[in-house]
Chain A
Amino acid sequence: MAQRNNKYDRQLRIWGEHGQTALETARVCVLNCGPTGSEALKNLVLGGIGSFTIVDASKVSAADLGNNYLVDWESLGQSKAKSVCALLQELNESVGAKFVEESPEALLESNPAFFAQFTLVIATQMTEAPLLKLEEICRQQKVMLVIARSYGLAGLVRISVTEHDIIESKPDNKVEDLRLHKPWPELQSYVDEFDIDTQDHNIHKHIPFAILLIKIAEDWKKSHDGKLPANVRLFKEAITARRRVEEDEDNYNEALKSAYIVLFPPSISSQLRAVLEDKASDVDASSSDFWIMVSALKQFMANEGQGEPPLDGAIPDMHSFTDYYIKLQKIYQARAEADVTAVEGHVARILKQIGRESSPIPRSTIKLFCKNARNLRVLRCKMLSDEFSSRSGPELQRLLAVEESSHPALYVLLRAVDHFAATYNRFPGVFDGEMEEDVSRLKSLAVGLLNDMGGGGASLPEDVVSEICRFGAGEIHCVASIVGGIASQECIKLLTRQFTPIQGTFIYNAMSATSLVLNV
């Protein structure tokens, strides 16, 4: 236990004990263990997933030694899956390791049920036709799918899941919800204990800014027909008027910095609104805990919350005497606890309505949900078969016309090379002699593809087409390291249900060091 905590200490600080447990119970399958697959898996094995299974029929060749760190000289000519599996096992002995020496394509045909045992499948270096089949199987069996591909100096990562609910989305800019615009009775009565015009300078400069803002807003309202200041400038002037310049008061600096939150308290984000309005929040016996909690949240907001989600109870650091700060902290925490209890009550009533009293949702789960209520996210991915259909043609056409970068073209061409491979039984550009012909073949395939999708007429930059041909389907280690790294990072976000994964197709261009997420 101590060893485990030490080993994972640096990552526990990102995703917590519960995130680590989610990883440790995950069963991951990797299709093809070239550099991209091996790198992605290496990162997950180091992080401590429960187990992995590699599916790859190929043997280790001399070329593999040049781009894959997880095969060695001794394994030349042997099963690549076996060799990579053995070396990965060395990296972390607490991870279960298996391999299947079979091609993913063959396995998809012979044993589709094979995939049901996994939490997540990473499909690397696979072409369109088998991917479509794999996606269908994964969707049916509720297995998460991450697609990763390194192609010369280009890369692609795409997630496919039916629905992914995120409680801990951990956005970069966390909204501070202090309710300074409408203090509840317990907070108000604490505020009332303060005389912010006290002659004791030492106290004056140690009153927490939250108290100052409530008081000063209150005073303003008294002299302005109950209205708040019309803009932040006026409010700041009112704050400045109360500070003692000679005292260099940090609490007043903080009050000025946060003045806007009284006038512009956090609103309900569009993402949260989308979750609240989602049809899935009309729950029944088959609904997940997440949606039952969303339904309870709606009831809370309509009743006790008066339009607001539960308070998260966290307050920022404030320049203050410790005891003022701690009292304030306790008031916020007590309110947050009361909100959790209220939501818990709604959850219990809903469970009763849908006949699920026997399997309640633990308070700890409801508490985590309430704490993050403002940042709930639901991710639903389009199926590849839909994306590849005629519906996305016009959007692609638009992107090709407006995007200055090469990414939309790369997106089309990465599909076109699969069609090329289906037609010619090889990728473009693998024979130097046929380079020029391949360029025009690939171009006409790509144009045909766009036409089929209803995006005809769009032009593909000549240089990107020849660049893709020049890549000759090579899997270069440093690109694989980046693409595999990004794919494994997305896997961790999916498995821990923390942070928001990529929504759309991530396209990477190593030459220009640029990337773009395309939504088509």
Chain B
Amino acid sequence: MSRSEELNQQMDINGIEKEKVLMVGAGGIGCELLKTLVLTGFQHIHLIDMDTIEVSNLNRQFLFRKSHVGQSKAKVAREAVLKFRPGVEIVAHHANVKNQEFDIDFFKQFSVVLNGLDNLEARRHVNRMCLAAGVPLVESGTTGYLGQVTVHIKGQTECYECQPKPAPKSYPVCTITSTPSKLIHCIVWAKELALAKLFGDKGQVSDLDVRPTSNEDGAVSNDPDEAQFFEVRSGENSKAYAERVFDRIFGQNIVTALQNEDTWKARRRPDPLFLEKVLTEDDVVTTNGVCSSEGTISASASLGLKNPQETWSVKDNARVFLESVQLFLDKRSKDVGKLVFDKDDQLAVEFVTAAANLRAHSFGIPMQSLFEAKGMAGNIIHAIATTNAIIAGLIVLEALKILSNKTKECRMTYCVEHPSGKMLLMPVEMAEPNPRCYVCSETPLVLELNTATATMREVLEKVVKRKLGVTDPVIMQGSNLLHESGEDIEEDMVAYYTALLDKKFVDYPTPITTGVVLTVEDYHQDFRCSLHVKHRETFDEEKEPEGMVITGDLASLNNTDASAQPSTAAPSKIQNGHAEEEEDDDVVMVEPVPKAATAGTKRKLEEEDTQPTEKRLRVTESVPIEV
């Protein structure tokens, strides 16, 4: 008797070799999962992953070797497993799971979908596809020693979105552009503004640019001269360019900002940094001519700064800044104009570290090492092989229960770091669907905005896409189409929608104001929900900077703690990266609420009034690490 038959017998299942399963994600969990599925006897597996292999994957994604760096994860994983077990059918898709090709019919062919994803957006999308196709979903995530596996079956258990998923951490624009108080603010500035200004897509409208007051203190402002300033001038070499930019963003812009006396009345005034003062004649930048380390172009290698854990001096930060700008122009010119920050891009990390540290220094904020700065800039999630192996085993066991129709026995399992209450694995019964979930039930939402100024463009960006996770929205007012996206829309309709995009809501043919119900649909996701519009004049600039608030059930979903403000769409705050770059593989933070009772009883009681103890486990997506 083969091992898989043995297992089949013990689990009372027949013919898992006939079942067809879909794996989404071929990263840390994915590699383990593919191996475990095959060794459990699964014969038909589809695998979707849009990523390519990075060096930093190799400490856990064991199907990949150094020689595979840069290749498709899905394809290499497939080949690696087929080499060992040639008889299995594995179909690899090197693609985004949100692509139209993976429609509801595509999902319907599978008995179960297994997620090993690294970002909230894709998780939400797969959740909706599974709900629409009526296919059970096993969802998973790990961070460091922590991990979790959950099961989602339409109508029987809660869906992935029945529980709150905190929005990524965001910062008010003025904190980033004018009054940073922590290193993370400087890092966000370096990554989202400085890097984007110098090497990013110039046509891309950044969050900063749409903000009317962003010029006031000119940290990186948006007037046309400014845009031109960051172009390389004819005849200018990379060194001259780097020096000119240095003086502008760390020197002149701070001088300009200082003129706004009001800002500095109660604050420490920043010190402008000009190159001639930072690096004296004796400190000329000397490079050793080796600007790469094992094939990676690196400014710190070029400058001989070997220890990534050491905090550079101001002079060294200035040197790294200049050197990294020059290396981008000289050695990575094909990336200039379209560069997007990537935590695995050594030179980009060096640029961001140096720029953030220099800015921090001028604002009197302590600087940090490359290693620490990289962690903050990339929102890097800890990841190790052990947890992924455990989680993959648990995913397969849950899948087997689903396939043997023992869905009642399915559990949501948490893997914890310290065996609390004597358990290392904590199984919890799956909860019922949340009747107020706007995804798996038809609960309406309330959208508060100023209808005299709000436009469809804003609502689409700030609410529909970012907040509701809709990919291809269709907006209707009654039976009137107000917006559609996609390829095969009639030209006249496109023109009509475009005309409506920037129109104020009150100026619509049928004005959109209090009492109007908008329907949001995504045909691809088979998603639909209603937004009840409510007019409101004013919004708190600090807490609701985007000027619109989505409340009702969505808000109560997003607020577990009573003191929290109504949930707001994130936009005109600057996020530390976009959803997809937010996280490394295998995220999802597990936070078991019943804490190990190490604190004294008295303290415990005291804590309770600020931290309500819930019976169930609270799951939160990780937010960036702040130091």
Q: Does A246 reach chain B (CB closer than 8 Å)?
A: no
Interface-side segment among A117-125, A301-309, A435-443, A466-474: A466-474
Of chain A, the residue at the smallest CB distance from B378 is A9
Question: When the two chains form their complex, are residues A517 and B599 in contact, meaning their CB atoms are under 8 A apart?
Answer: no
Of chain A, the residue at the smallest CB distance from B606 is A260
Q: Does A182 reach chain B (CB closer than 8 Å)?
A: no
Question: When the two chains form their complex, are residues B380 and A172 in contact, meaning their CB atoms are under 8 A apart?
Answer: no
List A14-35 residues whose CB lies under 8 Å from chain B. Answer: 14, 17, 35
Complex Cα distance A386/B523, Å? Answer: 66
Of chain B, the residue at the smallest CB distance from A432 is B1
Of A260, A326, A477, which one neighbours B366 at CB under 8 angstroms?
A326
Of B181, B381, B606, B609, which one neighbours A264 at CB under 8 angstroms?
B606
Of chain A, the residue at the smallest CB distance from B372 is A13
Question: When the two chains form their complex, are residues B422 and A517 in contact, meaning their CB atoms are under 8 A apart?
Answer: yes
Q: Does B14 reach chain A (CB closer than 8 Å)?
A: no
Complex Cα distance A471/B386, Å? Answer: 25
Contacts A200-B266, A481-B32, A489-B390 known; A9 to B380 CB distance under 8 Å? yes
Q: Does B309 reach chain A (CB closer than 8 Å)?
A: yes
**How far does the Cβ of A78 sit from chain B's closest Cβ, in whole Å?**
15
Q: Does B62 reach chain A (CB closer than 8 Å)?
A: yes
Question: When the two chains form their complex, are residues B62 and A46 in contact, meaning their CB atoms are under 8 A apart?
Answer: yes
Q: Which residues of chain B are near A152, meaning CB under 8 Å? A: 10
Complex Cα distance A510/B400, Å? Answer: 11
Complex Cα distance A11/B584, Å? Answer: 12
Q: Does A444 reach chain B (CB closer than 8 Å)?
A: no
Q: Does A508 reach chain B (CB closer than 8 Å)?
A: yes
Q: Which residues of chain B are near A264, meaning CB under 8 Å? A: 600, 602-603, 606
Of chain B, the residue at the smallest CB distance from A92 is B58
Q: Does A257 reach chain B (CB closer than 8 Å)?
A: yes
Question: When the two chains form their complex, are residues B145 and A14 in contact, meaning their CB atoms are under 8 A apart?
Answer: yes
Of chain B, the residue at the smallest CB distance from A271 is B598
Question: When the two chains form their complex, are residues B62 and A10 in contact, meaning their CB atoms are under 8 A apart?
Answer: no
Complex Cα distance A503/B607, Å? Answer: 28
Q: Which residues of chain B are near A256, meaning CB under 8 Å? A: 610
Q: Which residues of chain A are near B398, meaning CB under 8 Å? A: 513
List B389-439 residues whose CB lies under 8 Å from chain A. Answer: 389-390, 392-394, 396-398, 409, 411, 413, 417-420, 422-425, 427
Question: When the two chains form their complex, are residues A206 and B266 in contact, meaning their CB atoms are under 8 A apart?
Answer: yes
Question: When the two chains form their complex, are residues B389 and A43 in contact, meaning their CB atoms are under 8 A apart?
Answer: yes
Complex Cα distance A512/B409, Å? Answer: 7
List B251-277 residues whose CB lies under 8 Å from chain A. Answer: 265-268
Contacts A39-B389, A66-B39, A477-B39 known; A323 to B268 CB distance under 8 Å? yes
List A198-219 residues whose CB lies under 8 Å from chain B. Answer: 200, 202-203, 206
Q: Does B6 reach chain A (CB closer than 8 Å)?
A: yes
Question: When the two chains form their complex, are residues B40 and A513 in contact, meaning their CB atoms are under 8 A apart?
Answer: no
Complex Cα distance A474/B40, Å? Answer: 13
Contacts A13-B375, A482-B393 known; A69 to B600 CB distance under 8 Å? no
Complex Cα distance A228/B17, Å? Answer: 70
Give the one of A264, A477, A516 with max B CB within 10 A: A477
Q: Which residues of chain A are near B599, meaning CB under 8 Å? A: 173, 175
Q: Does B294 reach chain A (CB closer than 8 Å)?
A: yes
Question: When the two chains form their complex, are residues A42 and B390 in contact, meaning their CB atoms are under 8 A apart?
Answer: no
Of A39, A63, A232, A485, which one neighbours B3 at CB under 8 angstroms?
A63
Q: Which residues of chain A are near B387, meaning CB under 8 Å? A: 485, 489
Contacts A508-B425, A517-B419 known; A10 to B396 CB distance under 8 Å? no
Q: Which residues of chain B are near A257, meaning CB under 8 Å? A: 610
Question: When the two chains form their complex, are residues B181 and A325 in contact, meaning their CB atoms are under 8 A apart?
Answer: yes
| Chain B window 355-370, contacts with chain A (Cβ cutoff 8 Å), 1 for yes, 0 for no | 0000000011110000
Of chain A, the residue at the smallest CB distance from B4 is A66
Question: When the two chains form their complex, are residues A10 and B59 in contact, meaning their CB atoms are under 8 A apart?
Answer: yes
Q: Which residues of chain A are near B609, meaning CB under 8 Å? A: 232
Of chain A, the residue at the smallest CB distance from B56 is A9
Question: When the two chains form their complex, are residues A499 and B145 in contact, meaning their CB atoms are under 8 A apart?
Answer: yes
**How far does the Cβ of B81 sit from chain A's closest Cβ, in whole Å?**
9
Question: When the two chains form their complex, are residues A512 and B427 in contact, meaning their CB atoms are under 8 A apart?
Answer: yes
Q: Which residues of chain B are near A42, meaning CB under 8 Å? A: 62, 385, 389
**How far does the Cβ of B363 sit from chain A's closest Cβ, in whole Å?**
7
Question: When the two chains form their complex, are residues A7 and B56 in contact, meaning their CB atoms are under 8 A apart?
Answer: yes
Complex Cα distance A114/B38, Å? Answer: 37
Q: Which residues of chain A are near B50, meaning CB under 8 Å? A: none
Of B296, B363, B397, B422, which one neighbours A510 at CB under 8 angstroms?
B397
Question: When the two chains form their complex, are residues B268 and A321 in contact, meaning their CB atoms are under 8 A apart?
Answer: yes
Complex Cα distance A65/B7, Å? Answer: 15
Q: Does B230 reach chain A (CB closer than 8 Å)?
A: no
Complex Cα distance A6/B598, Å? Answer: 37
Of chain B, the residue at the smallest CB distance from A232 is B606
Q: Which residues of chain B are near A91, meaning CB under 8 Å? A: 62
Question: When the two chains form their complex, are residues A486 and B424 in contact, meaning their CB atoms are under 8 A apart?
Answer: yes
Of chain B, the residue at the smallest CB distance from A3 is B294
Complex Cα distance A320/B56, Å? Answer: 37
Q: Which residues of chain A are near B32, meaning CB under 8 Å? A: 481
Complex Cα distance A499/B387, Å? Answer: 15
Q: Does B626 reach chain A (CB closer than 8 Å)?
A: yes
Question: When the two chains form their complex, are residues A322 and B365 in contact, meaning their CB atoms are under 8 A apart?
Answer: yes
Q: Does A476 reach chain B (CB closer than 8 Å)?
A: yes
Q: How large is the interface on A (under 10, 10 to 19, 20 to 34, 35 or more residues)?
A: 35 or more
Q: Does A385 reach chain B (CB closer than 8 Å)?
A: no
Q: Which residues of chain A are near B394, meaning CB under 8 Å? A: 482, 513
List B341-364 residues whose CB lies under 8 Å from chain A. Answer: 344, 346, 363-364
Of A10, A248, A517, which one neighbours B382 at CB under 8 angstroms?
A10
Question: When the two chains form their complex, are residues A484 and B389 in contact, meaning their CB atoms are under 8 A apart?
Answer: yes
Question: When the two chains form their complex, are residues A502 and B3 in contact, meaning their CB atoms are under 8 A apart?
Answer: no
List B595-627 residues whose CB lies under 8 Å from chain A. Answer: 595-596, 598-600, 602-603, 606-607, 609-610, 626
Question: When the two chains form their complex, are residues A515 and B3 in contact, meaning their CB atoms are under 8 A apart?
Answer: no
**How far does the Cβ of B568 sit from chain A's closest Cβ, in whole Å?**
15
Of B266, B383, B422, which one neighbours A516 at CB under 8 angstroms?
B422
Of chain A, the residue at the smallest CB distance from B383 is A10
Complex Cα distance A321/B422, Å? Answer: 44
Contacts A253-B563, A260-B607, A323-B268 known; A489 to B420 CB distance under 8 Å? no
Question: When the two chains form their complex, are residues B265 and A172 in contact, meaning their CB atoms are under 8 A apart?
Answer: no
**How far does the Cβ of B607 sit from chain A's closest Cβ, in whole Å?**
7
Question: When the two chains form their complex, are residues B267 and A321 in contact, meaning their CB atoms are under 8 A apart?
Answer: yes
**How far does the Cβ of A94 sit from chain B's closest Cβ, in whole Å?**
11
Complex Cα distance A203/B266, Å? Answer: 7
Of A69, A320, A515, which one neighbours B425 at CB under 8 angstroms?
A515
Question: When the two chains form their complex, are residues B390 and A481 in contact, meaning their CB atoms are under 8 A apart?
Answer: yes
Of chain A, the residue at the smallest CB distance from B406 is A511
Complex Cα distance A326/B268, Å? Answer: 12
Contacts A478-B40, A482-B393 known; A69 to B293 CB distance under 8 Å? no
Of chain B, the residue at the smallest CB distance from A231 is B606
Contacts A202-B266, A326-B366 known; A267 to B600 CB distance under 8 Å? yes
Q: Does A281 reach chain B (CB closer than 8 Å)?
A: no
List B283-324 residues whose CB lies under 8 Å from chain A. Answer: 293-294, 296, 298, 301, 306, 308-309
Q: Does A269 reach chain B (CB closer than 8 Å)?
A: yes
Q: Does A492 reach chain B (CB closer than 8 Å)?
A: yes
Of B59, B267, B346, B397, which one neighbours A513 at CB under 8 angstroms?
B397
Of chain A, the residue at the smallest CB distance from B600 is A267
Give the one of B6, B344, B396, B609 with max A CB within 10 A: B6
Complex Cα distance A17/B398, Å? Answer: 36
Contacts A172-B418, A326-B366, A492-B386 known; A471 to B425 CB distance under 8 Å? no
Q: Does A237 reach chain B (CB closer than 8 Å)?
A: no
Contacts A39-B389, A69-B39 known; A477 to B3 CB distance under 8 Å? yes
Report, nearest first, the 4 A-B pairs whose CB atoms are least far apart. Answer: A485-B389, A485-B390, A482-B393, A481-B393
A6-B56, A488-B385 given; 8 more Cβ-contact pairs under 8 Å: A6-B346, A8-B59, A9-B380, A47-B385, A173-B596, A481-B36, A486-B424, A492-B384
Query: Can you list 26 residue pairs at the A/B interface with Cβ under 8 Å?
Result: A1-B293, A2-B296, A3-B294, A10-B60, A10-B384, A11-B59, A17-B309, A42-B389, A43-B385, A43-B386, A69-B35, A69-B84, A172-B418, A173-B598, A173-B599, A200-B266, A321-B181, A470-B10, A477-B36, A478-B397, A480-B393, A485-B386, A485-B390, A502-B419, A508-B425, A514-B425
